[in-house]
Structure 1
């Protein structure tokens, strides 16, 4: 769709205003296909490693595609994983250049245009190898997750095919209507920052935060019970609720997520190798404390990025304490290397793991022995 350009008036010889406009545009076609796996256990037991089940062909972005689903991995090295591949089902001269992504149906962050436009481009044609993930997800993680329900789970494949840049005429309308993107997050952030109508106060580490009971209750069942039920969170003194064992910055970030469903800007851009995982750990604890499952999963995913020799033991202890199965498996996967395990054993965090979570240490040893 050509962008709408502002009016560019000019004077003709007779003094009348006239103008013209053109635009350089790149048309992009996009779409998605939803693939439901019914009877996961059946596919796993009947389709051996290296063999796949092909989806029905589907049309997206003007082309015909299909998905290859390998319930036991596409080759021997990934037998413990599900493999997924996208391929073109029709001959196209020169191939089709596209951006693509596989995700579970609930992973909305991976399905947004802002994520898809940052992905590398892949060239598809009907004779070359398909594109996809050899290790999309560990079977054990899927089987322990809420995504597998009644032996079924649902996948989504997003595809964006960009055309070649070209010039075209652009109209100069006398008036136009542009519908902006949703802005509720900005409004709720302003509500939090301005404090208008706030009816509950929290004291955290010497700092006071104002908030709205109905917003907190709508986002967290723990806040709902504490503010409107018989339970009470912290120590109530007059109209201020005291929150112990939490840093003010963590509570501030928690409130920001409650009101905007996003992390604070300063946390999004946080690259410090120590500060970033530490903040994610604290926020995960807060998310678990207030039963905010989406925030907890976001923190888990972030902590998976920072697993290294120095952090793996403390991260594993945290995962065990807060029942983070995905994060726990990621730590186990990192420690499967003898070199990584030997180096981690020399850290203070590993000694703490031995004393605080002996059961998870024995689970780790059992996994390594089995391998």
Structure 2
């Protein structure tokens, strides 16, 4: 404790053991105490009689001020992880449900093939399927739905994505072609994530034999990034000359003439 005289601003430090005070008048010295110390207080002492006769005690009253600073180290340790949670495998379960066809309540006829599916899952993944299968449209009560403007392999890949949120394994040689058809299907059924995935794959597969049809596809289905990538490829005079001699260029010119005008404007100096 620090003792302050009413007649003086001088501070002294006091501790007491039994009837004896431990005292130092040098309050400027600080002492650090820890649990390792065998004793507390200072090594200088004052008798009670001497304290009572000192100027620090007036009318049996003296002031005490204690300044205590506690230093404590903070230890942070990682909390042991006793429970290991595996990654989600829901897509595997849904994929198996699609393959097994268990509890399927709607069948799609696509070309020569049929696909059993669950209308609630299709509706949850696509607002178009939701309107067709759960809305007031004729397919609401139908158990068989005919799709005559899509290849069976494309519809199969579409169902795989709907149930597993991923594309099926595809041969590298036919990846660009299937991505083109899937992009059309994704746009038709309003599945934006699938559409963007296909757009990204097509951006990586632009070549002289596919750029014209890919550009037409990008224009017709509002794929800005894919359209930009095609323009960048065609900005090379060598690439443009070869493409202009291809059948794909004729298709592009007949189906999307405005795109060629835009390309010419970009090529103009």
Of 101, 107, 113 in structure 2, the residue corresponding to residue 207 of structure 1 is 113
* Matching of residue 191 in structure 1 with residue 97 in structure 2: yes
Gaps of 5+ in 1: 1-175
Residue 124 of structure 2 corresponds to which residue in structure 1? 218
- Identify, as 1 or 2, the structure richer in strand: 1
Give the distance between the partners of 2:91 and 2:158, measured in 1 at CA. Answer: 15
Superposed, 1:1-371 pairs within 5 Å as 178-232=84-138, 239-264=143-168, 266-267=169-170, 270-272=171-173, 275-369=174-268, 371=269
* 4+ residue runs over 6 A deviation: none
Secondary structure at 1:203 match in 2: strand
Give the distance between the partners of 1:278 and 1:199, measured in 2 at CA. Answer: 31
Scaled by the length of structure 2, what TM-score is found? 0.67
- Identify, as 1 or 2, the structure richer in helix: 2
Whether the 8 Å contact between 2:113 and 2:152 is mirrored in structure 1 is yes
CA RMSD after TM alignment: 1.7
Structure index of larger Rg: 2
Residue 11 of structure 2 corresponds to which residue in structure 1? none
Secondary structure at 1:306 match in 2: coil
Size of the alignment, in residue pairs? 188
Report how far residue 239 of structure 1 moved: 2.0
Whether the 8 Å contact between 1:199 and 1:212 is mirrored in structure 2 is yes
Scaled by the length of structure 1, what TM-score is found? 0.49
Q: Per-residue CA shift, 1:210-230, capped at 9, x if unaligned?
A: 111110001000000001112
Gaps of 5+ in 2: 1-81
Whether the 8 Å contact between 1:225 and 1:232 is mirrored in structure 2 is no
